Chains A and B, each alone.
Chain A
Amino acid sequence: MTSAASASDGSSRRGAAGSAPASRWLVALALIPTALIALPVIYVLMRSWGAGWQAIWSELARPRTLMLLGNTVTLCLSVTFFASLLGYAAAWFTERTDLKGKWLWRVLCCLPLAMPAFVASFAWKSLGPTFQGMPGAILILSMESFPLIFLPVAASLRSMDPGMEEVSRSLGKGPGRTFWKVTLPRTLPALGGGALLVAAHMLSEFGALALLRVQTFTTAIFQQYELQFDNASAAVLSALLMLLCLPVAFGEMWLRRGVRFSKVGRNTARRGSPARLGRAQPLVMLGFIAVAIVSLGVPFGRLGYWLVKGVSAGRGLDALGPALFGSLSLALPGTVVTTLIALPLVLLVLRSRGFFARFADRLPYVVHGLPGLVVALALVYLSIRLLPAIYQTRAVLFAAYAILFLPLAQSAIRASAELVPREIEEVARTLGRSPLQAFLSVTLPSLAPGLGAALALVALELMRELTATLILAPTGVVTLATEVWSHTNDSAYAAAAPFAALLVLISGIPVYIFTLRTLRPRSDHQAR
Chain B
Amino acid sequence: MYDVTRRQLMHLGVGAAGAAMLSGLPVPARAEDQTLALYNGQHRPPVEALVAAFTAATGIAVVTRNGNSAQLASQLIEEGANSPADVFWSEESPSLVAIAEKGLLAPLHADTLQQIPAKYAARDGSWIGAGARSRVVVYNKSMIEESALPKTVLDFAGEAWADKVAFAPNSGAFQQQVVAVSLLKGRDVALAWLKGLRQYGRVYNSDSAAVEAVEGGDIAVALSNNYYWYALEQELGPDNMNSALYFMGHGDPGTLITVSGAGVLKTSKKAEAAQRFVAFMVSAEGQAAIVGAIAEYPLRPGVVSSFPLKPFDQLDPAPVTPADLGDAAEALALLREADLA
Contact = CB atoms under 8 A, between A and B. Distances in A.
Interface of A: 62-64, 126, 128-129, 132, 210-211, 213, 215, 219, 222-231, 310-312, 318-319, 321-322, 325-326, 329, 373, 377, 380-381, 384, 388, 391-392, 394, 470-471, 474-478, 482, 486, 489-494
15 contacts: A126-B216, A132-B218, A223-B170, A226-B172, A229-B74, A229-B98, A229-B328, A311-B235, A318-B12, A380-B78, A477-B21, A478-B14, A490-B45, A491-B231, A492-B231
A228 B328 contact: yes
Contacts of B65: 475-476
Interface in B40-93: 43-45, 63-68, 70-71, 73-75, 77-80, 82, 84
B234 A311 contact: yes
Nearest to A395: B24
Contacts of A228: 70, 328-329, 332
A213 B44 contact: no
Given A126-B216, A311-B235, A491-B231, A211 B18 contact: no
Interface stretch (B143-151, B184-192, B200-208, B303-311): B200-208
A170 B245 CA distance: 74
Nearest to B48: A316
B175 interface: yes
Contact of B66 (A63, A322, A470): A470
Given A226-B172, A388-B82, A475-B65, 20 more contacts: A211-B209, A213-B205, A213-B209, A215-B203, A223-B341, A225-B70, A226-B71, A227-B332, A310-B236, A322-B11, A373-B71, A377-B74, A380-B78, A391-B79, A475-B63, A476-B63, A477-B22, A490-B43, A490-B45, A491-B208
Given A227-B70, A384-B80, A311 B329 contact: no
Interface residues of B, number: 68
The 9 A-B pairs at the shortest CB distance, nearest first, are namely A129-B218, A476-B63, A322-B15, A475-B65, A210-B205, A491-B231, A474-B21, A476-B17, A226-B70
A222 B206 CA distance: 12
Nearest to B13: A476
Interface in B94-109: 95, 98-99
Contacts of B75: 377, 380, 471
Contact of B7 (A215, A318, A491): A318
A17 B7 CA distance: 67
A63 B340 CA distance: 11
A448 to B, nearest CB: 28
Interface string B221-238: 000000010011011110
Interface of B: 7-8, 11-12, 14-15, 17-19, 21-22, 24, 37, 43-45, 63-68, 70-71, 73-75, 77-80, 82, 84, 95, 98-99, 169-170, 172, 175, 202-206, 208-209, 211-213, 216, 218-219, 228, 231-232, 234-237, 327-329, 331-332, 335, 339, 341
B114 to A, nearest CB: 30
A62 B339 CA distance: 8
- The A contact surface, by secondary structure, is helix
Contacts of A132: 218
B231 A475 contact: no
A381 B332 CA distance: 23
B70 A229 contact: yes
A450 B187 CA distance: 60
B341 A392 contact: no
Contacts of A476: 14, 17-18, 21, 63-65
A472 to B, nearest CB: 10
A128 B43 CA distance: 26
Given A223-B341, A229-B73, A476-B18, A311 B237 contact: yes
B78 A381 contact: yes
Contacts of B169: 223
Contacts of A223: 169-170, 341
B84 A227 contact: no
Contacts of B335: 227
Given A380-B78, A478-B18, A391 B84 contact: yes
A475 B84 contact: yes
Contacts of B73: 229
